[in-house]
Amino acid sequence: MASKAAHKRLTKEYMGMQREPPPFVWAVPDEKNILIWNFIIRGPPDSPFEGGEYHGVLLFPSEYPFKPPGIKMMTPSGRFQPDRKICFSMSDFHPGSWNPAWSVATILTGLLSFMLSDEITTGSLSSSTAQKRSLAARSHLWNVNQRRFIDAFPDYCGEIMHDLPNMGEKERGKVDPPPEQLAAPLTTEVSTSVGPAEQPRNSTVATASPKSDESGKLPRALSWTDVLWNKWRWGVLILFAVIVSRITSPN
């Protein structure tokens, strides 16, 4: 059972994960036990794991964040032994090097970095690049046939593998489109059952909402006199200046 401190900390970290997920990883706590988290790691581009989807589990102690979690990878990857605890600096194999400031996001980012290395330790495997790529290609199919993955990630169990919330676009130098490209153009929807001389009966026009001024009041509609004055005021001013100059000029 989670301590009060562990429950509070893990709840905060789940909110942080939703607000700002790290690149290529995603994690959710178990609905019945907040000390158990399921995670997904997606293989980054230009790596032997590209296109792969790797399911794993974080097993937090009740003393978290003062003690590190156990970490397992469930999906065959060619890098870690399935369903066996992994030894690396942020796991329960190394409580002496654990930093309570580390979070779920930190742990999973570190695990991804460790996954991309060639270091051999408890729970790891040695395999060829071809073997890793072959397992990556079959990883999603393997996951969607596992009950634990289905229960933890129902939104990721379709035939097509969906992207995680953060697939590292910004980290790879891709930028968001300019705001003007994100804005939807104004459109008009007209009913097709309108006769030649009829006005549309069920037309919908997307218009911009009027903005209020600083006093909170909506601006009044321009009258025809306002329109005429805005259009001709410069001509009137020029004509007035010409008349004044002729009157005041010496003969």
Catalytic residue, chosen from 36, 59, 87, 105, is 87
- CA 148-149-152 angle, 5° bins: 85
Closest among 106, 132, 85 to 25, alpha carbons compared: 106
- 181 burial level (CB within 10 Å; 0-12, 13-18, 19+): exposed
Closest among 53, 240, 227 to 149, alpha carbons compared: 53
- Spatial neighbors of 204 by CB under 8 A, at least 6 apart, are 188, 189
Q: Verify cis geometry, omega within 30 degrees of 0, for the bond prior to 219.
A: no
**Amino acid at site 241:** A
Told to judge if 157 belongs to the known catalytic residues of this protein, a careful annotator would answer: no
Q: How many helices (H) and strands (E) does the chain have?
A: 6, 6
Closest among 149, 144, 112 to 30, alpha carbons compared: 149
* Residue positions annotated with a catalytic role: 87
